Amino acid sequence: MGGFFGVVSTLKESKADLFYGTDYHSHLGTVRGGMAMLNGKSFQRAIHDISNSQFRTKFDNDYRRFEGTSGVGVISDNDDQPLIIASHLGVYAIVTVGVVTNIQELVKELFEHRPVQFSEMSRSGFNPTELVAMLINSQESFEEGVRYAQSKVQGSCSMLLLTNAGVLYAIRDRYGRTPVVLGQKADAVAVAMESCAFPNLGYKLFRELGPGEMVRCSPDGVETVLPPGDEMAICSFLWVYFGYPASSYEGRNVEMARYRCGGALARRNPVEADSVGGVPDSGVAHALGYAVESGIRYARPFVKYTPTWPRSFMPPDQTERDLIAEMKLIPVPGLIQGKRLIFCDDSIVRGTQLAKQANRLYNDGVKEIHMRIACPPLLYQCRFLNFSRSKSEMDLATRRTISEIEGNDTDVAKYRDPDGEPFKEMVGRIRQRLGLSSLAYQRLDDLVAAIGLPKDKLCTYCWTGEDISKPAGCAHGCSRCERPCAAGSPQA
Amino acid sequence: MGGFFGVVSTLKESKADLFYGTDYHSHLGTVRGGMAMLNGKSFQRAIHDISNSQFRTKFDNDYRRFEGTSGVGVISDNDDQPLIIASHLGVYAIVTVGVVTNIQELVKELFEHRPVQFSEMSRSGFNPTELVAMLINSQESFEEGVRYAQSKVQGSCSMLLLTNAGVLYAIRDRYGRTPVVLGQKADAVAVAMESCAFPNLGYKLFRELGPGEMVRCSPDGVETVLPPGDEMAICSFLWVYFGYPASSYEGRNVEMARYRCGGALARRNPVEADSVGGVPDSGVAHALGYAVESGIRYARPFVKYTPTWPRSFMPPDQTERDLIAEMKLIPVPGLIQGKRLIFCDDSIVRGTQLAKQANRLYNDGVKEIHMRIACPPLLYQCRFLNFSRSKSEMDLATRRTISEIEGNDTDVAKYRDPDGEPFKEMVGRIRQRLGLSSLAYQRLDDLVAAIGLPKDKLCTYCWTGEDISKPAGCAHGCSRCERPCAAGSPQA
Amino acid sequence: MGGFFGVVSTLKESKADLFYGTDYHSHLGTVRGGMAMLNGKSFQRAIHDISNSQFRTKFDNDYRRFEGTSGVGVISDNDDQPLIIASHLGVYAIVTVGVVTNIQELVKELFEHRPVQFSEMSRSGFNPTELVAMLINSQESFEEGVRYAQSKVQGSCSMLLLTNAGVLYAIRDRYGRTPVVLGQKADAVAVAMESCAFPNLGYKLFRELGPGEMVRCSPDGVETVLPPGDEMAICSFLWVYFGYPASSYEGRNVEMARYRCGGALARRNPVEADSVGGVPDSGVAHALGYAVESGIRYARPFVKYTPTWPRSFMPPDQTERDLIAEMKLIPVPGLIQGKRLIFCDDSIVRGTQLAKQANRLYNDGVKEIHMRIACPPLLYQCRFLNFSRSKSEMDLATRRTISEIEGNDTDVAKYRDPDGEPFKEMVGRIRQRLGLSSLAYQRLDDLVAAIGLPKDKLCTYCWTGEDISKPAGCAHGCSRCERPCAAGSPQA
Amino acid sequence: MGGFFGVVSTLKESKADLFYGTDYHSHLGTVRGGMAMLNGKSFQRAIHDISNSQFRTKFDNDYRRFEGTSGVGVISDNDDQPLIIASHLGVYAIVTVGVVTNIQELVKELFEHRPVQFSEMSRSGFNPTELVAMLINSQESFEEGVRYAQSKVQGSCSMLLLTNAGVLYAIRDRYGRTPVVLGQKADAVAVAMESCAFPNLGYKLFRELGPGEMVRCSPDGVETVLPPGDEMAICSFLWVYFGYPASSYEGRNVEMARYRCGGALARRNPVEADSVGGVPDSGVAHALGYAVESGIRYARPFVKYTPTWPRSFMPPDQTERDLIAEMKLIPVPGLIQGKRLIFCDDSIVRGTQLAKQANRLYNDGVKEIHMRIACPPLLYQCRFLNFSRSKSEMDLATRRTISEIEGNDTDVAKYRDPDGEPFKEMVGRIRQRLGLSSLAYQRLDDLVAAIGLPKDKLCTYCWTGEDISKPAGCAHGCSRCERPCAAGSPQA
């Protein structure tokens, strides 16, 4: 998915803030990272592969060499960022987080102008950040440019622009799908996606940007350039999986929302067991909530080997990925043999690893495995953020099951109702395939309540297929389409 | 402290076992790592600094280049390991874990022989492993040599020797202060310090070595060369802090012992509170046990930023270490403001970080902080393993407090009795200095019970100053000395 | 200055040709290198700093990882190359060699179009290759684009374009200031700046491009797209200094031209001496020619330490550069003490090192030093290629001397005539400042004769200030201006 | 072969002297390098593989990090050096240059002592420097130890010892096979193998050590500890090939000796030709001497691509080595086509590359190739220095030819006489195999005269098979043996 951090200040310590602040977004991506710092009128920049070493290790030399007090940093998905762009608007650094699903159309449109070119083609395909910059540069001011870019991009796009005059613009996606938060200390303003980046760096959370809002930050303060819009569709999955436990979005803390998720699961799907555990790390907080509500003790039948498996590395080879999945968790036999275990996890994507772990537990002598999932079944692949969790909708455990039942998966919508027979049939089959004693998913209304925001402020597309946006070429608004409409599904 | 892993087999996959098996000891050291693999009659070897990057990242190239089916690996404290030694006994690789506190005497004695020399002086001072090898080589067989080395070394020494004939010797320290466990699968035998290294690599835990036992391992099986001794003094701190939760020593699992530790703390020192939390990562399991016993919910007012702070890096500069201590934990305000919190931790060494965290919590609006420590107060610095947790006894919070009360710290022994007034005075002052609402330490008998072994099998020196060994120059046996006797304290 | 190599073929071995062929241009630059290879429809690319390690060492990993049979490589001055560009013309890799002295004007002009932007701003300032690509993309075909770019660029620009359809375009600068040569073997066409790159890779020199000529290369052959122009101004300094001895341009070999240069110097400026030597490496071939003509033995009073000082590294710090200048040459005392020595060198830029070396020779006991320079005095700084030999015209030994004589250096033209008094006065003063027994420069007509091309085909601007081009804003044509006219001097 | 440099001083600049001084020995080895610097009482050390990058590039970081004013550096063959040794004599750094051909015997003897061990076994086999150190440590003082080591080692051994008390001992091999020279400047003494390391670092050549001499160097001066012996056998090949042109040994400069070599070849073997050239780099100076004596012009029909092929890299794979041999030299067609060329080279080992180059020249149109070799035919493989030029005597062009003539090569001695028929037959066959128009070798008396030392001071073993030493087990002294006697030939 990616995340960014920016700072504008007059303080020498801001270099450390940029370094550590960007690092605090490392859970949002494992492939590439970048930093740019303004030194006088020009930028220093570094971009590294972080797939086999952590952000701080890779950027340590750059960090020492950089000079300045303002900069932007990013954990990105695949593309090189930050870019340093020169245009009629001047010279500036830009980072973006989101996904552009209509790249091909936009490029085609832009190529009608001469002599438009894209220079950042060194990795595979067009660099979405370069594209967004060009949309901005097609207008006569940053404000107009940002508004124009937001109107053209399908998907989502939050961004930071740091001009070589030392102005930092922060822009939240049009529908606020990703959060953008402002922090402040004397003589410094910082912008982050994760509010948890602030307290250890001495920033007070100042405020969150509204959907589509654009602000102009200087060491002296923050000024709104484009006001927030009325419509919001912030990603629910931030609370379920992506977000860091210590962060809050729209005032709702992640850790506590997960406790409530677990609590709801326990109320709705009680079962007798010896202990409740969370699949590390994403299921832990859900499980803690479950334990409190159910009165069943929380225990760790699996311990993650955090010293060297802190996060999922991304080797290109699937065999190696499987190996890693099995290596990072170590069983505690005394907590498994002859036990009835409840496990909480954030979601089921393909279900492959889960099936393997269940199988291992049976070999290790477990008596029962009861799986509790913190969100409803994933039925639709995200079109608004760059989820890397599944490559195609067809990989989803649900879709494969529906295809199995129906022969095809065209009639997905009927599997959304948790009280309907199709839903029960689908879940039953998934349970069986995974070899579980019982399997229960969160209900959407329970999830919404656990998050604590009105349902119409949340994006729930991956469970409902409905969305606030009305992509070009869609007559009735995509929110009424059962499947991604003509505008097409996201690119690989 | 350090840890090792060895494998002898006829299987190609053993290279991966060596790589991942050694990696699973990474929590035991953060400075240096090494691997040696036997290829035909000669050894391939690699040693790297792992202070700023993980074992696997640093050894990835070596891993690919190595060829063979038997090898030894080590996470070491400071010294280069494995060494490849040639002597009249042949050519072999050696790794050791422990500490040698009488290096200077041993070297002086060895220099009486001509033409003895030490070649591994490139880092600071004598390499203890080279010294131990020389003690072995001073005798006419590996068996006699190992017995001789064990009799000469003050401190402790577990080790692995892999000869270029493909025989792997595993030796546990004379008093079994560190564990050595054997794992087996078809055509392969593995030796580890942490039994948690076995399940993911497909080894069945075969058996643990007894104190001072030496075994000869080949792909076909294991044969005892030196039988185990009667006396045992296994380090209690393995269960309190060092050991990995999924490991067991002498049949006692770490995670479960910690649950019992927390349970005992809760029974013995009840207090009303809103939640119980563990100081990550070492206090977590203790806190889970406390929560179950007390009925108070477990919650995480601090979340560790595991994606990039998986373990404590060891920058030489104390300022930077402090910075890191503050960076790795992120507060969750909603779980802190106006709350009465219980925290469990493994132990208090200097107490500096704890005081800072307490202060921060008060700034964040906490109402009460109740600290529960999983072991008794640390009064004596370890002389048997290379603890890097404090540089000198004088750094210990207890010793500083005693000095404050008494003007000096000569009369330490009277502070051992948890029911005595001196103990209460000491703990009271520590509580006050750290700014805690309440502070309670585990009682030694509760700790021993939680571990589940007879007290006389455990080393409890750091709390009692008494030990099974009778160092040279100590008339009455060190177990009766209040302080390290004439034989001297461990070297810096 | 920089150099490039490209290959288009169906052969697997072409990857090696690209690697070694680019490497054979290493003498033309010491700062950055790059390679791009077409794999299917997309490009693999690598760019590295080569200032402290050689091209092959730095690109070895990329070389192994690349796949394909067609590619382009470059040794560049400062800027990142190759760029992979996408435009309405498609996706292609581009490398350029030359200098663009009117970047600011061109950028300003381009910014009048929306939404033009430059993305390659990460190093200092605009990337000239990105600019040239944009000029090409402003037209409707590669042919028109190249013609347009050539008409707009002040300075010079030879280039290679490799489209992702596998077509390689090679374009020589409008006035042919740099050479571009074609080589051929079965199923492969290669393009180079240095013909010496061909024989060891098995290519036959097929033909040289004419000035401004553009060809379309495919594995099957070469087709002219834009015909060569009539006017040529190939850089004379290629024969004097830049070019590799084994190369030929316009059919004239470098090594042999240098022998003739040395011969002419000997005929025109005879002197008695014990030996003739060349200042390594640039003066060696000139000196060999001098020795033959004069009958005085060639000897090496200085030997370059080639094993580790193969080329001049470029540390940013002048102190360190001076150190290096002194470290790379080692004196042979027996060839110096009491001797009368003739030294040949290609040219005198600032003269600083030469003065130091002369001083050292006197300390080592030399009797006489006679300096012979292979070209006339450098009076004008190059405006057509990116010479990095002096930072400003004011650094030139000649200009400083003229300023000394005249109080300013406005009247440079009168110092061009080698038979005039001003010239003699200038050379006399330089000789004196450098502490030489005698100093003689080549005469321009002798140099032209040694090269062997008609004078009107050669650029001699650095000696005469006259040029074939008529820069914008220059009423009478720059060839009649004594100094760079209003169009301005090259950028720093 | 290897080379070393040491410095003992009170000057801060000595760190640079050590770095650059060691680097100036890079032509003596291409595999490993090392440096150790004394900082207070302890040593900093670095050892790197220099097979794919130069000494300075590889040691740059160490150079910056090191602190101190005294140190030793080495270019070594294969083994790790410097070693930091602790023994009853204290702690010291040691480097050695030479070869130990009786390692196995010495080790066996040492293993009779307990508890002798060798710790530096990580690369293949025993580290000769560790062995030599142990021989030294077997005695009661450095003086006695060095004398003992020299008496035990078969082969040769020059060395430097730097004690942690800041004393630098320099020892030349017993027969002075390698040179050791002393340089001096205020407050600093340096020791080198190549005197050319001194002038650019500001050292005056103070004096050369005699055979077997041991001196004690301090910043204040040099004191003889063991006086020089009477017998000398300095390697003649230093002047022919190994030595750097700017160096002198026993007062005889290398460059000038090579001029005399070439002169003698011209006098003894005249032939008409268009030019004389040297096979780069080893044949150049010989060819310059030939040109002067013969009156035939010196020219470069091949130019070495020095910018990136400064020295022969050592890839393990022979195919790649052959590739490199062909890549580093570039032909100049105009100096080849239709020409009669004389080439000088230092020696012929296997002759393989020479045959290939000759073949290429014929393809390029050469008319005649006359080869002149600066020394007599190599008949015996060196047993006194670690020549890496041939792997076995059987590889030598001479031996293969003798085997061809005789059916075996037992009767080698009769091929030594340049006036005998066997010699002429052998040379004639080699000439034919290599495809040369003519081939002439230097006569030994001409070579000795060119060097300028008495024949009995020179080692000429590789041409005569006779040597000054009387190895153990050789009844009549090896100088009378036709072939290496029972003491055995050097190890692989």
The first and second tokens of residue D115, run together, are: 């508890």
What is the three-state SS of B311-327?
CCCCCCCHHHHHHHHHH
User: How close, in Å, is residue A306 to chain C by CA atoms?
Assistant: 31
CB-based contact, D43 to chain B, within 8 Å: yes
Mean pLDDT computed over every residue of chain C = 91
Residue B36: closest CA among B49, B48, B50: B48
* C14-23 helix and C55-65 helix, angle to the nearest 10 degrees: 160
DSSP state of B335: G
d(CA A62, CA A36): 10
Distance CA D335, CA D299 (A): 8
Dihedral (C-alpha) D111, D114, D120, D124: value to the nearest 10 degrees?
A: 30
What is the per-residue pLDDT for A311?
Answer: 64
Residues C244 and C356 sit within 8 Å (Cβ to Cβ) = no
- Point out which residues pair with B217 in neighbouring strands: B168, B222
Q: To which residue do tokens 């013609």 refer?
A: C147
Asked if B84 is an interface residue toward chain D (Cβ–Cβ < 8 A), one would say yes
Cα→Cα distances C312→B168, C27, C31, Å:
53, 9, 11
Q: Pull the structure tokens for residue D325.
A: 């041999």
Pairwise CA distance, residues B248 & B254, whole Å? 6
Question: Cβ separation of D200 and C330 shorter than 8 Å?
Answer: yes
Closest residue of A to B201, CA-based? Answer: A327
Token pair recorded at residue D254: 């290398």
Q: Please report the pLDDT score of residue A324 as a whole number.
A: 77
Write out the two tokens for A72: 């932007």
Evaluate if residue B218 carries a pLDDT over 60: yes
Tell me whether D448 touches chain B (CB under 8 Å). Answer: no
Strand partners, D32: D49, D76
Q: Are A457 and A250 in contact (CB under 8 A)?
A: yes
* Structure tokens given for A264: 């709801």
> What is the per-residue pLDDT across D354-369, written as a single tens digit (0 to 9) for each?
999 999 999 999 999 9
Residues paired with A369 in a beta bridge = A341
Q: Give the distance from CA B255 to its chain's centroid.
A: 16
On the CB side of B326, how many CA atoms lie within 13 Å of its CA?
19
Contacts of A356 (CB under 8 A, 6+ apart): A322, A325, A326
Residue B476 pLDDT more than 70? no
CB A217 within 8 A of CB A168: yes
The DSSP bridge partners found for residue A182 are A191, A207
Question: Which of A43, A86, A124 lies nearest to residue C117, judging by beta carbons?
Answer: A86
Contact C316, C124 (CB under 8 A): no
Report the number of secondary-structure helices (H) and strands (E) in chain B: 14, 24
C118–A85 CB contact, under 8 Å: yes
Among B37, B80, B121, the strongest candidate for a mutation testing the D interface, having the largest count of D CBs within 10 A, is B121
As a whole number of angstroms, the distance between CA C109 and CA C116 comes to 10
Contact between A143 and A119 (Cβ < 8 Å): no
pLDDT at residue A395, rounded to an integer? 86
**Residue D165: burial class (beta carbons within 10 Å; 0-12, 13-18, 19+):** exposed
**Helix intervals (H) in A138-278:** 142-152, 237, 254-268
- For chain B, percent of residues with pLDDT exceeding 90: 82
Answer whether D2's CB lies under 8 Å from D386's CB: yes
Q: Where are the alpha helices (DSSP H) in B341-473?
A: 352-363, 397-406, 421-434, 444-451, 461-464
Q: Are strands B368-373 and B340-345 parallel, antiparallel or unpaired?
A: parallel
Provide the pLDDT for residue B313.
46
Say if C and D touch: at least 3 Cβ pairs within 8 Å: yes
Two structure tokens written together for D268: 């003894």
Q: How far apart are CA C23 and CA C30, in angstroms?
A: 11
Question: Under an 8 A CB cutoff, do A54 and B288 touch?
Answer: no
Rounded distance between C-alpha atoms, residue B171 and residue B224, angstroms? 10
Whole-number Å distance between alpha carbons of C492 and C388: 10
Q: b vs e for C129-163, b when ≥16 Cβ sit within 10 Å of the residue's Cβ?
A: bbbbbbbbbbbeebbebbbbbbebbbbbbbbbbbb
Q: How far apart are CA B84 and CA D126, in angstroms?
A: 11
> CA torsion sign, C166 to C167 to C168 to C173?
negative
Nearest Cα to Cα of residue D453 among D235, D262, D206, D264: D235
Span between the terminal Cα atoms of chain A, in Å: 14
Q: Quick one: CA dihedral D454, D455, D460, D463, positive or negative?
A: positive
D175-207 per-position pLDDT tens digit: 999 999 999 999 999 999 999 999 999 999 999
Contacts of A349 (CB under 8 A, 6+ apart): A378, A389, A390, A395, A396, A397
Place of tokens 């999932």: A373
Distance (Å, rounded) from C-alpha A156 to C-alpha A233?
11
Interface contact B199-A299, CB threshold 8 A: no
DSSP D120: B
Judge: C333–D253 Cβ closer than 8 Å, yes or no.
yes
Q: d(Cα D457, Cα D454) in Å, to the nearest integer?
A: 6
Hey, are the CB atoms on C55 and D308 less than 8 Å from each other?
yes
Q: Which residues contact C475 (CB under 8 A, 6 or more apart)?
A: none
Which of A64-73, B169-178, D302-311 is predicted least confidently?
D302-311
Strands B214-218 and B168-171: antiparallel
Q: Is the pLDDT of residue B484 over 90?
A: no
β-pairing, D329-331 vs B252-253, is unpaired
At B31-82, the pLDDT tens digits run: 899 999 999 999 999 999 998 888 998 999 999 999 999 999 999 988 999 9
Phi-psi region of C187 (alpha: psi -120 to 50; beta: other; left: phi over 0): left
Residue B315's pLDDT band, with cuts at 50, 70 and 90, is low
State percent of chain C over pLDDT 70: 92
pTM: 0.92
CA atoms within 13 Å, Cβ hemisphere of C37: 22
Note the pLDDT of residue C388.
Answer: 59
CA B68/CA B8 separation, integer angstroms = 10
By CA distance, what is C30's nearest residue in D? D307
A410-460: pLDDT as tens digits: 789 999 999 999 999 999 999 999 999 999 999 999 999 999 999 999 999
Least confident of B394-403, C118-127, D315-324, D342-351: D315-324
Mean pLDDT of D434-446: 98
Which candidate, D258, D214, D255, D251, places its Cα nearest to that of D234? D251
**D89: helix, strand or coil:** coil
Q: What is the pLDDT of residue D19?
A: 96
The DSSP code sequence of C263-315 is HHHHHHS----SEEEE-TTTTHHHHHHHHHHH-PPB--SEEE-TTT-SS----
Do B117 and D134 count as a contact with CB atoms less than 8 A apart? Answer: yes
Could you give phi then psi for residue D35, rounded to 5 degrees? -145, 145
B258 versus C485: which is more confidently predicted? Answer: B258
Which structure tokens are listed for C127? Answer: 């990337």
Q: Which residue has the higher pLDDT, C480 or A44?
A: A44
Q: Which pLDDT value is given to residue D390?
A: 55
The string over B259-274, giving b where at least 16 C-beta atoms fall within 10 Å of a residue's C-beta and e elsewhere, is bbbbbbbbeebebebb
Question: Contact C75/A98 with Cβ under 8 angstroms?
Answer: no
Q: Is A203 on the interface with B (CB under 8 A)?
A: no
Distance between CA atoms of A309 and A322, rounded to whole angstroms?
14
How much is the CA Rg of chain C, to the nearest whole Å? 23
pLDDT of residue C312: 52
> CA-CA distance, B250 to A383, in Å (whole number)?
54
Does D have 3 or more CB contacts under 8 Å with A? no
pLDDT value of position D388: 59
For residue range C181-223, list pLDDT tens digits in order: 999 999 999 999 999 999 999 999 999 999 999 999 999 999 9
Determine the 3-state secondary structure of B340 from DSSP. Answer: strand
Taking contacts as CB-CB distances below 8 angstroms, the residues of chain A near C110 are 115
Which of A342, A315, A238, A318 has the alpha carbon at shortest distance from A282? A238
d(CA A179, CA A243): 10
**Residues C330, D199: C-beta atoms closer than 8 Å:** yes
